[in-house]
């Protein structure tokens, strides 16, 4: 499969379904690598064990990770009261995908509630 993407997984100790997301990212051929922002360090060992070589980088700082890695897609799984600034940071630093420049693999990602193709931010 061509055009694999880098995914940023942005979470914290209270993040929901993190192991399920890690397993999905490990299984999909559309994901080339994962960068993890985990300020509490709770998910680092799980990420290493599940993702293996797909785990490219772990950081305790969301802003630094996003600025340095610029993932094509960010997956934010956090408590609702903590998520807005992280979502904003992801929104402003992830690579903007348009019909012309997004990878073919991104076209196949479906938004589960709308069934429309989407790329960029999944919250």
Decide if pLDDT at 53 tops 90.
Answer: yes
Q: How confident is the model at residue 42 (pLDDT cuts 50, 70, 90)?
A: very high
Contact by Cβ (8 Å): 31, 4: yes
Selection from 80, 61, 74, 73 nearest residue 103 by Cα: 73
- Measured between alpha carbons, how far is 26 from 28 in angstroms, rounded to an integer? 6
Percent of the chain with pLDDT over 90: 61
Q: Which domains does the chain have, with CATH numbers?
A: 5-122 (3.40.50.720)
Report the pLDDT averaged over residues 3-7: 90
């Amino acid at each position: 499969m061509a055009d694999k993407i880098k995914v940023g997984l942005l979470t914290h100790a209270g993040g929901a379904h993190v192991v399920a997301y890690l397993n999905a990212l490990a299984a999909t051929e559309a994901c080339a690598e994962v960068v993890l922002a985990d300020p509490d360090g709770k998910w680092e060992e799980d990420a290493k064990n599940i993702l293996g070589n797909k785990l490219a980088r772990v950081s305790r700082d969301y802003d630094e990770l996003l600025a340095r890695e610029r993932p094509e897609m960010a997956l934010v799984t956090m408590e609702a009261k903590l998520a807005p600034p992280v979502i904003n940071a992801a929104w402003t630093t992830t690579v903007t995908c348009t019909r012309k420049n997004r990878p073919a693999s991104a076209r196949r990602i479906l938004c589960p509630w709308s069934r429309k193709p989407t790329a960029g931010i999944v919250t």
